[in-house]
Structure 1
Amino acid sequence: MDEKNYEKAFQLIMNAGNSKSASVMAQEAAKKFDFDQADQHLKDAELEMRKAHQCQIDMIQQEAQGTPVEVNIILVHAQDHLTMAMMAMEQARELIEVYRILHKLMKQGEF
């Protein structure tokens, strides 16, 4: 893989990792019923995810234009990070919603 694609792969790893970390922080904030902070962390996760996706899109476009992207362990690792970050964001969204419901029920004295 050429230097430019290595750079893209490592950028993807970094952005996906940042997204996953922000998703975990969103869950932690929601656990404390700090939904403003949870929402901000989720926005941060989404921003980092967009950056990670852009790295992936750039490589896909390069391949589509006839310049192959060599698949190696770094690129596989990058794709794995992206997948895990996507899963973490979906999990965070679901857990935040569950914590919102729990908080509402606790305030109403139903739990």
Structure 2
Amino acid sequence: MNEERIFGIISYAGDAKGTAYEALNSAENFEFEKAEELMKQAQETMREAHKLQTKMIHEEAAGNTVEVNIILIHAQDHLMTAMSEINLIERFIKMYKKIDER
């Protein structure tokens, strides 16, 4: 069961990050409506990854030990990297909007 969640975290985080980079490409071309829609999709996908992580945390807090292995560590790394990159991409999109206004 945990393996399904772990691979779900990896999959959702990777999809979210990829979608965010698509949004950045759109912003670079000053296609802001498309960029906004893609960022909404990326955030929703990231929420799904976070839900899986939260379930595992709640289980651990309830006394059900979650086995820590290299795949879980990889999933956590993937999730946190995706979150950071999405935050930076949001800032870049704002910057491109400011550039376009000038």
| TM-score bin (small chain) | over 0.9
Q: 1:85 aligns with which of 82, 91, 96?
A: 82
Larger radius of gyration: 1
Once superposed, which parts of structure 1, at least 4 consecutive aligned residues long, lie more than 2 Å away?
A: none
SS at the partner of 1:70?
coil
TM-score (norm 2): 0.98
SS at the partner of 2:97?
helix
TM-score (norm 1): 0.90
Q: Give the aligned length.
A: 102
What letter matches 1:61 in structure 2?
H
Q: Are 1:96 and 2:93 matched, yes or no?
A: yes
SS at the partner of 2:66?
coil
d(CA) in 1 for partners of 2:39 and 2:69?
31
Give a deviation string over 1:9-32, Cα, whole Å, max 9, x none. 000000000110011111100000
d(CA) in 2 for partners of 1:55 and 1:47?
13
1:81 positional shift: 0.7
Superposition RMSD in Å:
0.5
d(CA) in 2 for partners of 1:100 and 1:42?
14
Cross-structure match for 2:36: 39
SS at the partner of 2:48?
helix
What letter matches 1:81 in structure 2?
H
Unaligned runs of 5+ in 2: none
Identity of aligned residues (%): 40
